[in-house]
């Protein structure tokens, strides 16, 4: 019973790991079949789950039931192997924030910056065209920034890529 008691100095992260909450809160696992392997990457055919409805963030939809995911092949899976793939949880929400929220903030900041510049340049007046020009300039800059930070192969983009965590066995074994 001593091991099950709460310790006052214990960190919340350790407690969530003890209860098995950390992994469940961050990822969801799907079973799939490796189609091809290219270096440390593998193309995995995954059955489309309910959570994937309308998402398309980490996988390419092939038909109504299956998707193709580019996953890190950390387990050394071979074509035809059945594997367990960890997919990022709530990826579509984060992707929507990055693709829509960040540019919106840049646009609004550009409107404010344009208003400040026009006020200083016109001695207290306001120029809507200058304000809009600054807004669209910062909007374009935000898309350039996002495309550079999240370019394929970058560390930031890798956070959103599926990972093969376990080889379940070759195709045709129990479970198919």
Q: Dump pLDDT digits (tens) for 75-102.
A: 888 898 899 888 766 666 777 888 899 9
Total structural domains in the chain? 1
Q: Dump pLDDT digits (tens) for 20-61.
A: 444 334 456 788 889 989 888 888 888 766 656 555 556 666
Mean pLDDT (whole number) for 62-86: 82
Q: Is the pTM of this model over 0.75?
A: no
134 assigned to some structural domain: yes
What is the residue range of 104's domain? 93-149
123 assigned to some structural domain: yes
82 assigned to some structural domain: no
121 assigned to some structural domain: yes
Kindly report the number of other CB atoms within 10 A of residue 32's CB atom: 27
Indicate the pairing of strand 66-72 with strand 41-47. antiparallel
Of 6-10, 54-58, 149-153, give the lowest mean pLDDT range. Answer: 6-10
Question: Chain-centre distance of CA 28, in angstroms?
Answer: 13
169 assigned to some structural domain: no
């Amino acid at each position: 019973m001593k091991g099950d008691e709460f310790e006052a100095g214990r960190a919340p992260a350790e407690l969530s790991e003890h209860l098995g909450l950390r992994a469940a809160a961050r990822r969801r696992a799907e079973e799939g079949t490796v189609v091809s392997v290219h270096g440390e990457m593998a193309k995995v055919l995954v059955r489309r789950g309910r959570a994937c409805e309308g998402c398309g963030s980490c996988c390419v939809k092939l038909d109504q039931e299956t998707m193709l995911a580019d996953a890190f092949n950390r387990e050394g899976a071979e074509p035809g192997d059945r594997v367990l793939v960890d997919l990022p949880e709530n990826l579509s929400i984060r992707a929507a924030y990055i693709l829509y929220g960040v540019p919106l903030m840049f646009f609004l900041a550009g409107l404010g910056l344009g208003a400040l510049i026009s006020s200083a340049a016109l001695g207290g007046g306001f120029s809507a065209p200058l304000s809009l020009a600054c807004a669209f300039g910062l909007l374009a800059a935000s898309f350039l920034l996002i495309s550079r930070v999240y370019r394929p192969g970058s560390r930031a983009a890798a956070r959103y890529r599926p990972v093969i965590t376990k080889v379940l066995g070759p195709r045709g074994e129990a479970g198919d």
